[in-house]
Amino acid sequence: MSKMLSFGAALSCALGAAGLAQAGVIMHTDLPNGQMSVNLVIDGVNIQVDADPRAFKSKTVAGTTGVGIAGGSVDGEIDNSEYILFTFSTPVVITSLQVVHLYAAGNYGDTVSESARITADGVDYVLQVVDGTTATWTGLGSVSNHSPGLQNNGGHWEVFGSDIFGSAITTLKLRSNEVGGSPMADYGFYSLAFVPTPGAMALAGVSGLCLLRRRRG
């Protein structure tokens, strides 16, 4: 009987955590070509997304599509002083960020391995390609490669975790990591996933309760 109760409690915790962990997702397809801004409402959160200094533009490389900025050194990618800015109406925890067209040295004319600068509430973080399938991240969480950063591939990377910046944020800016701007650090936005702060706090509470139950069991 005790085993059955223990299993039931574990199942309840798992289902509760799964329900609370449902994240809102912004996709590259949500950013329309030719527009400089868009307002999205996802899971009750208003998100203003702005392109600077020109409009959003999608780009596909080796079957992998992302969104960058029209014109510049590399059309359809984020380079030089260009950026995409996300502004959230309420603090959110970012659980996943995916970017594309970020390559290792020696591919598509890049003489250095590319890197992306991600600024969350004014604090800079860097995703740095090491080789075709490996990259480092200066924030929290882990990095996964979905398409190698090599010639004839998509250079698709994901940073993921329970909170990749360590705290809830209201602004997120994607920009080149090259000082002065360069086509050697250009890339596109693919997607990001977020949990509004109340949901993130509830998820943490359920996780703690489950841990307490396990210890008592």
- Give the pLDDT confidence of 100-111 residue by residue, as tens digits: 999 999 999 888
CA dist 209 and 203 (Å) reads: 10
Nearest to 141 by CA among 167, 121, 165, 122: 165
What pLDDT sits at residue 215?
44
Residue 54 resides in a domain: yes
Residue 114 resides in a domain: yes
Q: Do residues 164 and 129 lie in contact, with contact meaning Cβ atoms separated by under 8 Å?
A: no
Residue 173 resides in a domain: yes
Overall number of domains in the chain:
1
Q: Do residues 189 and 66 lie in contact, with contact meaning Cβ atoms separated by under 8 Å?
A: yes
Q: Write phi, then psi, for 129 (nearest 5 degrees).
A: -70, 135
Q: Do residues 149 and 157 lie in contact, with contact meaning Cβ atoms separated by under 8 Å?
A: yes
CA dist 48 and 40 (Å) reads: 6
Please count the CA atoms within 13 angstroms of the CA of 103 that sit on its side-chain side: 21
Residue 211 resides in a domain: no
- Which parts of the chain sit beneath pLDDT 70? 1-21, 179-183, 198-217
CA dist 81 and 178 (Å) reads: 9
Q: Write phi, then psi, for 215 (nearest 5 degrees).
A: -65, -40
Residue 171 resides in a domain: yes
Residue 15 resides in a domain: no
Angle at 137 between CA 116 and CA 44, to 5 degrees: 75
**How far is residue 112 from each of residues 43, 105, 158, measured CA to CA in Å?**
40, 4, 20
Q: Which domain holds residue 61?
A: 23-198
**Can you give the CATH number for the domain in which 55 is found?**
2.60.120
Six-digit token string for 115: 């890197």
Residue 3 resides in a domain: no
Residue 89 resides in a domain: yes
What pLDDT sits at residue 109?
87
pLDDT digits (tens, 9 = 90+) for 1-53: 333 334 344 434 433 443 445 789 999 999 999 999 999 999 999 999 999 99
Task: For tokens 């200094």, name the residue.
Answer: 53
